[in-house]
Structures are given as C-alpha cells and as structure tokens.
C-alpha cells in the first residue's frame, strides 16, 4: 500500500482540519508514493526513534509530536532537526505526524478510559463535528468521589508511572475530574470554569499549580510523556486493524527524563 493511501485511511478518522491552527500535522518528510510495508509508531521523532526506525527497516514513521514544528529555512546537518530530516530521507522513510487532530478526536477520551471513566464531555471546545457534536481538547467528567491521594494512585497505575506531582490537599475528596494529556497550562481556566476539582495533565509550573490550588482546584502533573505515551499502543492497534498487510512496530515506552 502506498503512503498516500495510508494517509487517506488515517485522515478519515483523524482529519487534519481538526488540528489546531498553530499545529503542524500530516506528511512532514518523504514520498507520498512510497510503498509501505513496515510502519513504526512512536511519540516523538527523536534521534533514538529514527535510528531504531532505520534499524527495523521501517518505511513509515508515525509520531504524535511533529518532526517539524516551526518553519525551516534550510535542511542541513548543522542543526538537530535538519539532521533528523536528512536521516529519514537518506533511508527513504516517510514521516507522518498526527498531533492535535489526534488529541481532539481520541486522546482525552482514551486517557479517561484508562482511568475507568467511561462517560465524559469535552473540556475545551475547538470545533463542532458534522453532527454538531462538540469536539476539542481534554475531557471532564463527574466521578465517584475519591481523595486526591487516591486519584494520584489511580493515575500512576493507569499510565505505568513511578511518580506524579500534586498540588492540593491529598486528603481532599474530588468528584469532578478533568484531563488534558500533554501540556495543560492553557486549559486551567476552562477546568476551573467547569467546576473541576482536579486537573490531570503535564508541564505544570510552580505558579500555575499553586494558583490553581488557591482557587480550589487540585492538579496532578503526570508529565507530558506520562499520559501521552498511550498514543503508541493505540495507533499500533489501529494500524493492525486497518492496514493488516503492513508489519506494525512500536517504540518502547521510554520516559525522556529520570527522577532521582
């Protein structure tokens, strides 16, 4: 199957038009007429991931985070992004990113399912679907009351984490939870306005955490990678179902930093 045919399949469920305007999704490197026999799925197009894709003789690398985010004025080996693009092109590997379009269509709902929360609604609406269904970033739901400490334990277990950071009284009960996998600073206001008792997200700084807690909303910071790594297994299963003729490989879960 050609790369452009696989893109058509992906974009039927995760259309590029659902991505936020600042994002950069789609085919970012390679030939759309490339014949694809092996797909490698990862969260980031890091040096290690690209090396492994080459080693595994992948034809297509599919990532959540874009290989190229801002504009490139040149593609050379003189900077790390250009070097990655060159490595992919030299080995005839296509690179496709599905970022906020995946977030809007799948990530929030999937992450709540991992926590055993089946029913939820959009946290921050970004668009209306063809059936006027609200779509957007993150999810929010009423849950069976638990303490903040217990919720921290649930997050660690659901996403295979050794630790999380929490702002708020660990003994306080929470009954409305919001989640925004990745970086959630921008949705703090929406979570507060919708009455969330806790926001589960990543990339929270000192001031955002303390200010949210002061306004009555706890925050659990599970790390940017900590929740979003579920993309890897989810898309591996997606490709195995929708493109059974291709071999599908997945990057190992590898957190980008260590807590000592």
Of the chain, the end-to-end C-alpha distance in Å amounts to 46
Q: Over the chain, what is the mean pLDDT?
A: 96
pLDDT at 171: 98
pLDDT at 205: 97
Domains delineated in the chain: 3-98+229-250 (3.40.1390.30), 102-227 (3.40.1390.30)
pLDDT at 155: 98
Cβ partners under 8 Å of residue 148, min gap 6: 166, 168, 169, 170, 171, 172, 173, 174, 198, 218, 220
In angstroms, rounded to a whole number, what is the distance separating the alpha carbons of residues 20 and 171? Answer: 37
Confidence band for 203, pLDDT divided at 50, 70 and 90: very high
pLDDT at 240: 98
* DSSP secondary structure of 86-117: HHHHHTT-EEEE--HHHIIIIIHHHHHHHTT-
CB 198 within 8 A of CB 217: yes
Higher-confidence position of 3 and 260: 3
* Average pLDDT of span 95-109: 97
pLDDT at 129: 75
pLDDT at 72: 86
pLDDT at 131: 76
* Average pLDDT of span 93-102: 98
pLDDT at 71: 81
């Amino acid at each position: 199957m050609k790369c452009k045919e696989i893109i058509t399949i992906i974009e039927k469920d995760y259309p590029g038009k659902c991505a936020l305007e600042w994002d950069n999704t789609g085919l970012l490197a390679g030939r759309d007429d490339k014949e694809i026999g092996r797909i490698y799925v990862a969260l980031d197009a890091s040096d290690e991931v690209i090396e492994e894709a080459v080693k595994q003789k992948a034809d297509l690398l599919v990532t959540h985070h874009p290989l190229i985010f801002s504009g490139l004025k040149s593609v050379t080996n003189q900077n790390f992004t250009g070097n990655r693009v060159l490595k992919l092109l030299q080995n005839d590997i296509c690179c496709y990113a599905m970022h906020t379009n995946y977030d809007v269509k799948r990530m929030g709902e999937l992450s709540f399912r991992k926590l055993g929360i089946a029913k939820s609604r959009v946290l921050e609406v970004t668009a209306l679907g063809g059936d006027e269904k609200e779509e957007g970033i993150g999810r929010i739901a009423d849950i069976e009351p638990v303490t903040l400490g217990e919720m921290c334990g649930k997050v660690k277990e659901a996403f295979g984490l050794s630790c999380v950071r929490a702002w708020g009284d660990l003994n306080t009960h929470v009954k409305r939870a919001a989640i925004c996998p990745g970086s959630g600073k921008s949705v703090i206001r929406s979570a507060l306005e919708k009455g969330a008792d806790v926001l589960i997200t990543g990339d929270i700084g000192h001031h955002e955490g303390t200010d949210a807690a002061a306004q009555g909303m706890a925050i659990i910071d599970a790390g940017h990678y900590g929740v979003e790594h579920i993309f890897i297994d989810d898309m591996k299963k997606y490709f195995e179902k929708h493109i059974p003729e291709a071999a599908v490989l997945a990057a190992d879960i590898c957190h980008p930093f260590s807590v000592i």
